[in-house]
Structure 1
């Protein structure tokens, strides 16, 4: 029987754009507020962004070896299945499809629509808090954006890849603008209304090492990990990357290093303009919007909305490009409906898998919209009312991050399994610093997971995520294990 194979059409620049473009989405513009809320000292707060980048780099050093060993569609699903068995692969697919990927797509698309709404409001009614589009028309627009990008990626992988390169280039330029804007304002504006001030960086550090609240530091790190989340997205499309043994490691390591530099630079710029006490109170706008507003006035607010809108659009496209490859791979293994492995006869893309992922993402948008709008008290016996002091966006991202951190850490740890089982396998790329580098990564990520259970603001999301994994175990045992598939 013929096994469907995806064409290798993604070159080195497209591979790098997938790594960088799917990561730079909403986190770098919003999560600085969460860090400021949990970490009082600016130097320590910036260290959270550095640590998040170091973790991503350590993970990428190990992950690149695994990805080049198995350059197949599906990414983590393939690595977990090969290392730990079919149930581990299925559980990743279960959590990735129902929570992580669709939650990410829904959150990004919602933020795109909100940023678009901000642009309309500022263009039509400058300085006024006017609702140009009502709530449900905005949800309809969100669904339409998801559907349009899904249709584009179904038309051809090369189309989605080219769009990713263009949008990623714009996003990198936008972050460079944020990094340099405080210094440009100082140089070009004689009397800026909100000049950047070095004293906003004080206090840089706590009085003593024992004065650090490590639980809150860990909570801040979860938000930063969301901002860095997506650097593994090259693996699901590895089957479509040209010369994968060279291009995958280059895209992973080069992309992560660029992200660390951009993120740390942008957050330093934020702290030069917005005092930490004021940053932590920015619940109804992004930090980037307030930053640009203070430096450039109303024009800056409009610029920031455009930057955020473009950024989340690129990340949204990247997720709709790589996400369906999981369903395609699971369909080939009969751990999902076999129809999901079908390729479009004209375009050569997993069009049905793209449609299924986009469809569930659209339903997620509408479902979360209904819960948010009507504040439904009980659904299926669970109290789903959002905490009064926590934004819906943060609830969704924390919920998604629990499953992501758990399984992605196992994917990185699979390097130990493969070094033991496949000692003579051809490895064009070998992890630098093995076994210390992957061991440090796994230990630190395990500490992050444990901290989620101990932090009141994230405990509910962690428990629900663990329970959902338990449901996945039951589904696997009932639907696949006992049927002998």
Structure 2
């Protein structure tokens, strides 16, 4: 069969919404609340961090609706930045996306799958050493993560319908399971710590936690914080919540395969981010109900959901959450793998990535781009550095979101006559609020946690010479519009 030349529009509104939800909910909501609590030290600020992140995510998603209506084609945010600024800006995002943002997330989610699989089969976990390869030490959990990434890449190379089927099944399952866990937490917990935890109110505290002889972080005493220390604590805490809430924009990358993309992309963004925000805030309220604050902050290996489930289901809580996280991470990686390859596909069409990435196989999907993404994500799994890379890139991710939303203002002047079937909700106020909040987050990290920012700058800066090399080395692929 001959290669296809156009992406097939076979995804509807429900599919788009499930891609948003499925790509956002991975393992973060089950883990990061421990670190957030250690940073801000009160029930009120724990919920505030999640609400601030949810507000930012919803505002950005509503703003992206305008851009998705203007440019309803594959590539999403890469296309928006290119149109608002120039091809270099789009490339810097696409390069960062390929080098770290998407591939490191895929690796991290894959390793999270194996981490919780170890509860059921310890020999397949991240602590089960296999052999020393010289450059890296290989653990069975890394190979499990790679196997999952390879499997999902293969499934998505078979066609968009196959990827859609997995997304629908696994995202629906984890939504039902998460809602069920939240509800049962409030109903079945024999002891609750709601009143005691909320006595902390909005009084920000930090724990002078120290590591014991085994390297486990142990609580010591909480001390009040304010001023710059508080601002730094909030920014650091939000690294976790933003990571957990990221990837909502993945649906914009597959716009070329959406039915009626001018309408459905924007609606998918809004519905998906709203659903996830409600789930995340509800889950954290449940944690505060069933766990004392110290146990929430210092859960073993930060596995807050496991600690909570053991309070709700003492005999099998650990295994229940392990299975839930495996379902969640499997579905999450499917969405990430499906969407990510479309960015490299569009970059190749523009002559800014390898030509093979811009070609579709007989199933009308960018197979080469899928496998290139798989290869890099697998290397990151073996390196063990994906977690550090994600911490380092959080700053850059938010900065690109800010630049994209600034692009709405630029395009209103630059392309006033371009059809806008949907206009950014609350424009110009809500987009401006997001820009201010995003810049404040970046500035606080830059001041108080420079280690989270400098490496991100380096990764982006490497893209500048690569852009000029790509312009000389590759040529645009001349094809008709796909949408």
For the superposition of Structure 1 and Structure 2, which TM-score range results when normalised by the shorter chain? 0.7 to 0.9
Alpha carbons of 1:89 and 1:155: their partners in 2 closer, same or farther (altered >3 Å)? same
Q: For the Cα contact (< 8 Å) 2:92–2:463, is it kept in 1?
A: yes
Q: How many Å separate the matches in 2 of 1:357 and 1:430?
A: 33
Taking the TM superposition and a 5 Å limit, the aligned residue runs for 1:363-378 are: 363-368=379-384
Matched, 1:136 2:136: no
Q: CA deviation at 1:172?
A: 1.0
Taking the TM superposition and a 5 Å limit, the aligned residue runs for 1:411-430 are: 411-430=404-423
Q: For the Cα contact (< 8 Å) 2:49–2:241, is it kept in 1?
A: yes
Q: SS at the partner of 1:119?
A: coil
Q: CA deviation at 1:249?
A: 1.7
Which of 446, 457, 478 lines up with 2:439 in the alignment?
A: 446
Q: How many Å separate the matches in 2 of 1:284 and 1:265?
A: 22
Q: For the Cα contact (< 8 Å) 1:200–1:273, is it kept in 2?
A: no
* 1:444-473 deviation per Cα after TM superposition (whole angstroms, max 9, x unaligned): 1111111112223xx223101101211111
Taking the TM superposition and a 5 Å limit, the aligned residue runs for 1:143-158 are: 143-158=146-161
Q: How many Å separate the matches in 2 of 1:321 and 1:30?
A: 25
Q: SS at the partner of 1:163?
A: helix
Q: How many Å separate the matches in 1 of 2:352 and 2:4?
A: 15
Q: How many Å separate the matches in 2 of 1:274 and 1:263?
A: 16
* 1:326-373 deviation per Cα after TM superposition (whole angstroms, max 9, x unaligned): 11001111101111111102x1110010000001100111122xx7xx
Match of 1:467 in 2: 458
RMSD between superposed Cα atoms in Å: 2.4
Q: CA deviation at 1:408?
A: 2.1
Q: Which runs of 4+ in 1 moved over 3 A?
A: 129-135, 194-197, 207-212, 481-485
Match of 2:217 in 1: none
* 1:98-130 deviation per Cα after TM superposition (whole angstroms, max 9, x unaligned): 010011000000000111111224xx9xxxx99
Match of 1:176 in 2: 179
Comparing 261-270 with 294-303, which one deviates more in the overlay?
Answer: 294-303
Q: CA deviation at 1:5?
A: 2.3
Q: SS at the partner of 2:177?
A: helix
Q: How many Å separate the matches in 2 of 1:250 and 1:327?
A: 25
Q: How many Å separate the matches in 1 of 2:71 and 2:4?
A: 17
Matched, 1:334 2:351: yes
Alpha carbons of 1:466 and 1:144: their partners in 2 closer, same or farther (altered >3 Å)? same
* 1:275-312 deviation per Cα after TM superposition (whole angstroms, max 9, x unaligned): 22222222524111111012211401100111111111
Q: SS at the partner of 1:43?
A: helix
Q: How many Å separate the matches in 2 of 1:483 and 1:150?
A: 25
* 1:404-459 deviation per Cα after TM superposition (whole angstroms, max 9, x unaligned): 11212212221111111222222111112111111111111111111112223xx2
Taking the TM superposition and a 5 Å limit, the aligned residue runs for 1:213-228 are: 213-228=230-245
Taking the TM superposition and a 5 Å limit, the aligned residue runs for 1:259-298 are: 259-298=276-315
Q: CA deviation at 1:480?
A: 2.3
Match of 1:189 in 2: none
Q: CA deviation at 1:210?
A: 5.6
Q: How many Å separate the matches in 2 of 1:70 and 1:460?
A: 36
Q: How many Å separate the matches in 2 of 1:327 and 1:21?
A: 21
Match of 1:389 in 2: none
Q: How many Å separate the matches in 2 of 1:114 and 1:174?
A: 19
Match of 1:206 in 2: 203
Q: How many Å separate the matches in 2 of 1:436 and 1:306?
A: 43
Q: How many Å separate the matches in 2 of 1:200 and 1:447?
A: 29
Matched, 1:109 2:133: no
Unaligned runs of 5+ in 2: 131-137, 205-223, 477-483
* 1:196-252 deviation per Cα after TM superposition (whole angstroms, max 9, x unaligned): 543222211128996681210111112111111011111000111101122112111
Match of 1:73 in 2: 74
Q: For the Cα contact (< 8 Å) 1:201–1:272, is it kept in 2?
A: no
Number of residues of Structure 1 aligned to a counterpart in Structure 2: 446
Q: How many Å separate the matches in 2 of 1:327 and 1:271?
A: 42
Alpha carbons of 1:130 and 1:91: their partners in 2 closer, same or farther (altered >3 Å)? closer
Match of 1:52 in 2: 53
Q: For the Cα contact (< 8 Å) 1:167–1:310, is it kept in 2?
A: yes
Match of 2:256 in 1: 239
Which of 386, 395, 399 lines up with 1:402 in the alignment?
A: 395
Q: For the Cα contact (< 8 Å) 2:100–2:393, is it kept in 1?
A: yes
Q: How many Å separate the matches in 1 of 2:467 and 2:242?
A: 29
Match of 2:481 in 1: none
Match of 2:368 in 1: 352
